[in-house]
Amino acid sequence: MKHKSLALIAGMALALALSLPLSALAQAPDRRDGRLSLGAEIGFLFGTADSTAFGLALNGDYFLNQNLSVGPLVQFGLTDDLFQFGPSVQLKYTYDIDQRLTANLQGGLGFIYAELERSGRDRDDSSYLVPVGGGLEYKIGNDVSLGATVLLNFMDLDRVRSENFYLSVLGGLKFRF
């Protein structure tokens, strides 16, 4: 009889231990609607007018509802010979993968300015900018996330370069208010 009681208690403890992680996943995600998220990311811009550039991006998202946000994105690209500046307004769709991990798809419209110094002469140009891509965010605190973003940026800088796109690969921190 004593062994049956121990087996029953052990079985209930095991069932409880296995159900706790599942109940944590079943909880509703944090509400994002009406909140503001600000972030800064660093990384690389591949395929710029001066090959690979150091990249910096500043972004903000105002959540219109749980999944849809709008806000500014400003990308900077720097090398010894290149200064590139690209502000845009992004529309972002965010969805929860689990309690801490979210993914997003985004697209936007803005303009880009690039100045390239080569062979003693300056070349500069400006154009439209259409950044599209996606990213992941991992929540490391109540209002702090680690983020990674990959964007394909379409533009038309004729005087500075021949290709009409470059790739941004960035990572950094995001803070929600």
Whether pLDDT at 153 is above 80? yes
Q: Which residue would you say has higher pLDDT here, 81 or 93?
A: 93
Q: Cα separation of 69 and 94, whole Å?
A: 8
The first and second tokens of residue 83, run together, are 């200064």
8 assigned to some structural domain: no
Rounded to an integer, the average pLDDT of 109-117 is 94
14 assigned to some structural domain: no
Categorize the per-residue pLDDT at 91 as very low, low, confident or very high, splitting at 50, 70 and 90: very high
Q: What is the pLDDT of residue 20?
A: 46
Total length of the chain: 177
From 63, 26, 52, select the one nearest 137 (Cα to Cα).
63
By residue range, what is the domain housing residue 122? 36-176
Domains contained in the chain, number: 1
pLDDT over 70, % of the chain? 81
22 assigned to some structural domain: no
16 assigned to some structural domain: no
29 assigned to some structural domain: no
Q: Is 108 exposed, middle or buried (0-12, 13-18, 19+ CB in 10 A)?
A: buried
CB 107 within 8 A of CB 73: no
The first and second tokens of residue 45, run together, are 């811009």
108 assigned to some structural domain: yes
Q: Cα separation of 17 and 119, whole Å?
A: 68
CB 160 within 8 A of CB 49: yes
26 assigned to some structural domain: no
63 assigned to some structural domain: yes
Whether pLDDT at 28 is above 70? no
- Range with lowest mean pLDDT among 25-29, 51-55, 170-174: 25-29
From 50, 111, 112, select the one nearest 81 (Cα to Cα).
50
Find the DSSP H helices in 33-157.
Answer: none
From 30, 29, 41, 89, select the one nearest 62 (Cα to Cα).
89
Q: What is the CATH number for 54?
A: 2.40.160.20
